[in-house]
């Protein structure tokens, strides 16, 4: 592929974002030069390159989302940006899953994808985001950034490509300090709290002077507090729902009670994820930005004034989570607010690695599960190893509800298809509310009735629709229009899992994808399927009979 030229057209004038963009451009160019010398990358180089891309996606996207929280970018814009981030990260994870010990990465295909994505991402989404941030921020979004990167210097000096990748990763992680510096320079009270593998708070990493003033103490006093002490009982109980909101939507906005040196303080906060030296952390911004400027030339997603678009304070809420994951789900909307808050405080987050089994056939699930991020498969297994995928469950769907309310063993096994986070709502407490609330009991019957109709429709599709109809319907179900108006479907699982769910042989699914690609109806790049013309694809579905 041709070299990507870094130019003023790609600059956002937000130094930490430009530094990270420039690092990826340099890495793409270094990879292109490496492939020009040899048509294939070695196994070591493949693993290092994919590791760099995963680190880049995690660090860069968390940086952008943290800046959005610091500046108070409206929630609908944050959600769209976050979902696009998750699609790219899913694509990188798919590449990593597809590379075994001896597998060879198609470097040219990868670089073409990265080049196209970079231009679309930087010149489209990130330029609009930068206009938002510059208009909303009271503080300068600038930090000292070198004009040339370690990657470019290493390539110019003829360094080994593996060494270039390592140095690029080091430069990427060094940029995290720039993001932290913006936190400390900010005019909003903010702090950074580290999380462990179970998404629980461990220690306070950074606080700024505004946060110390907010809590009525010194920076040193606030830093000395443990995260558990700072959050207190109410904050700790709220954390599962709060973190679920952050992972699902990109940000939590609402009231949070903390305990500082001067006692308990309840404040409206904005919370986002921020990577800090390989550790996951939460950025907590206290209060709401006091912006009143119009956002200039920010495109369709940013035409309203900042004052009209910003998130409104919820000062009347002294405890609980207000508008939350549970309150937005139809099953829980009939529960009284105080009962729902208790239910939320009893819920737990469960983090699963790819392939982990949550429960097996014949087990009684501990509760009802909501998918926060990732995907789960519900599978029926027979003796001898044969299995059938009955359902693929995505965010924000729930599962195991029939088992909870009927108190029967599960007829399926639940297994994660990727790194997945679930919210577990304890069965005993759900049944207690079911017995005491007629409205909730009716909502349960209504929900289970809808699920029965959904399963009936799925059985009808699997038995009466052709293979091509099922495949196209599946693609359209997962298709979304990105910020540039392009219709894309991100395949939710590996092809053999999708084939099992659609009741097809993997070879049949592969042939159908190839047929659709040959006719120009889709383009496929691993798990990412682009649909140039939705109407043509629908018309083809109605005309072709492929048994």
Give the residue, 260 or 311, on which the prediction is more confident: 260
Distances (CA, A) of 166 to 18, 51, 525: 20, 10, 26
Compute the mean pLDDT over every residue in the chain, rounded to the nearest whole number.
82
Lowest mean pLDDT among 23-37, 312-326, 491-505: 312-326
Give the residue, 155 or 256, on which the prediction is more confident: 256
Quick one: DSSP state of residue 305? B
What pLDDT is recorded for position 1? 55
User: Is pLDDT at 350 greater than 60 in this prediction?
Assistant: yes
Q: What is this structure's pTM? A: 0.82
Q: What is the mean pLDDT of residues 486-504?
A: 86
Are 418 and 355 contacting, i.e. CB atoms less than 8 angstroms apart?
no
Neighbours of 159 (CB within 10 A): 16
| Strand 201-207 with 190-195, pairing | antiparallel
What pLDDT is recorded for position 110? 78
What SS3 string covers 99-167?
Answer: CCCCCCCCHHHHHHHHHHHHHHHHHHHHHHHHHHHHHHCCCCCCCCCCCCCHHHHHHHCCCCHHHHHHH
**105/103 Cα distance (integer angstroms):** 7
For residue 40, report the phi and psi dihedrals to the nearest 5 degrees. -135, 150
What pLDDT is recorded for position 316? 27
- SS3 label, residue 547: coil
Output the six-digit token pair for 395: 């965010």
Nearest to 172 by CA among 17, 51, 18, 56: 56
Please, which pLDDT band fits residue 127 given cuts at 50, 70 and 90? confident
User: Is pLDDT at 536 greater than 90 in this prediction?
Assistant: yes
Provide the edge-to-edge strand list for the sheet that holds 398-399: 348-352, 420-426, 367-373, 398-399
Which domains are delineated in the chain? 8-182 (1.20.120.50), 188-291+308-320 (3.30.450.20), 327-457 (2.60.120.10), 467-543 (1.10.10.10)
Distances (CA, A) of 154 to 15, 25, 164: 22, 14, 6
Lowest mean pLDDT among 214-223, 284-293, 298-307, 532-541: 298-307
What pLDDT is recorded for position 438? 94
User: Is pLDDT at 371 greater than 90 in this prediction?
Assistant: yes
Q: What is the mean pLDDT of residues 236-252?
A: 85
User: Is pLDDT at 229 greater than 70 in this prediction?
Assistant: yes
User: Is pLDDT at 133 greater than 90 in this prediction?
Assistant: no
**168/180 Cα distance (integer angstroms):** 19
The conformational region for residue 135 under phi > 0 = left, psi -120 to 50 = alpha, else beta, is alpha
Report pLDDT digits (tens) over 64-121.
988 888 888 887 888 888 888 888 888 788 777 777 555 566 777 778 778 877 887 8
């Amino acid at each position: 592929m041709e070299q990507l030229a870094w130019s003023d057209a790609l600059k956002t004038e937000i130094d930490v974002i430009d530094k990270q963009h420039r690092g990826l451009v340099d890495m793409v160019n270094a990879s292109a030069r490496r492939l020009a010398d040899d048509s294939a990358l070695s196994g070591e180089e493949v693993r290092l390159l994919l590791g760099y891309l995963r680190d880049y996606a995690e660090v860069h996207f968390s940086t952008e989302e943290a800046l959005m929280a610091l500046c108070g970018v409206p929630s609908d814009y944050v959600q769209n940006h976050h979902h696009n981030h998750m699609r790219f990260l899913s694509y990188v994870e798919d590449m990593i899953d597809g590379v075994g010990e001896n597998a060879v990465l198609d470097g040219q295909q990868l670089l073409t994808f990265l080049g196209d994505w970079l231009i679309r991402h930087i010149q489209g989404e990130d330029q609009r985001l930068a206009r938002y941030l510059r208009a909303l921020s009271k503080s300068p979004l600038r930090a000292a950034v070198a004009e040339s990167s370690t990657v470019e210097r290493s390539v110019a000096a003829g360094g080994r490509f593996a060494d270039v990748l390592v140095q690029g990763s080091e430069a990427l992680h060094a940029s995290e300090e720039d993001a932290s510096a913006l936190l400390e320079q900010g005019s909003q009270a903010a702090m950074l709290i580290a999380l462990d593998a179970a998404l629980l708070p461990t220690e306070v990493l950074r606080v700024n002077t505004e946060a110390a003033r907010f809590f009525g103490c010194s920076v040193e006093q606030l830093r000395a507090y443990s995260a558990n002490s700072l959050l207190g009982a109410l904050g700790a109980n709220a954390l599962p729902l709060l973190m679920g909101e952050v992972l699902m939507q990109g940000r939590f906005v609402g009231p949070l009670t903390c305990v500082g040196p001067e006692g308990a303080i309840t404040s409206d906060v904005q919370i986002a994820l921020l990577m800090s030296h390989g550790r996951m952390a939460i950025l907590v911004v206290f209060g709401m930005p006091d912006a009143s400027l119009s956002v200039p030339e920010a495109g369709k997603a940013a035409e309203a004034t900042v004052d009209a678009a910003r998130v409104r304070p919820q000062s009347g809420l002294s405890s609980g989570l207000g508008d939350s994951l549970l309150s937005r789900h139809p099953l829980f909307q009939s529960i009284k607010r105080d009962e729902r808050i208790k239910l939320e405080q009893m819920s737990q987050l469960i983090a699963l690695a790819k392939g982990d089994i949550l429960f097996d056939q014949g087990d009684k699930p501990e509760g009802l599960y909501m998918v926060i991020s990732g995907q789960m498969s519900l599978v029926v297994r027979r003796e001898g190893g044969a299995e059938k995928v009955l359902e693929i469950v995505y965010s924000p769907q729930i599962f195991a509800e029939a088992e909870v309310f009927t108190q029967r063993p599960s007829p399926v096994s639940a297994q994660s298809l990727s790194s997945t986070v679930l919210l577990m709502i304890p069965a005993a407490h759900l049944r207690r509310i079911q017995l005491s609330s007629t409205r909730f009991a009716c909502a349960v019957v209504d929900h289970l009735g809808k699920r029965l109709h959904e399963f009936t429709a799925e059985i009808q599709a699997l038995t009466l629709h052709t293979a091509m109809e099922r495949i196209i319907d599946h693609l359209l179900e997962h298709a979304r229009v990105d910020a540039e108006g392009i219709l894309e479907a991100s395949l939710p699982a590996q092809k053999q899992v999708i084939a099992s769910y659609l009741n097809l042989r993997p070879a049949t699914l592969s042939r159908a994808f190839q047929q659709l690609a040959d006719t120009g109806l889709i383009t496929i790049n691993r798990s990412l399927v682009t649909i140039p013309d939705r109407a043509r694809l629908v018309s083809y579905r109605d005309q072709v009979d492929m048994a």
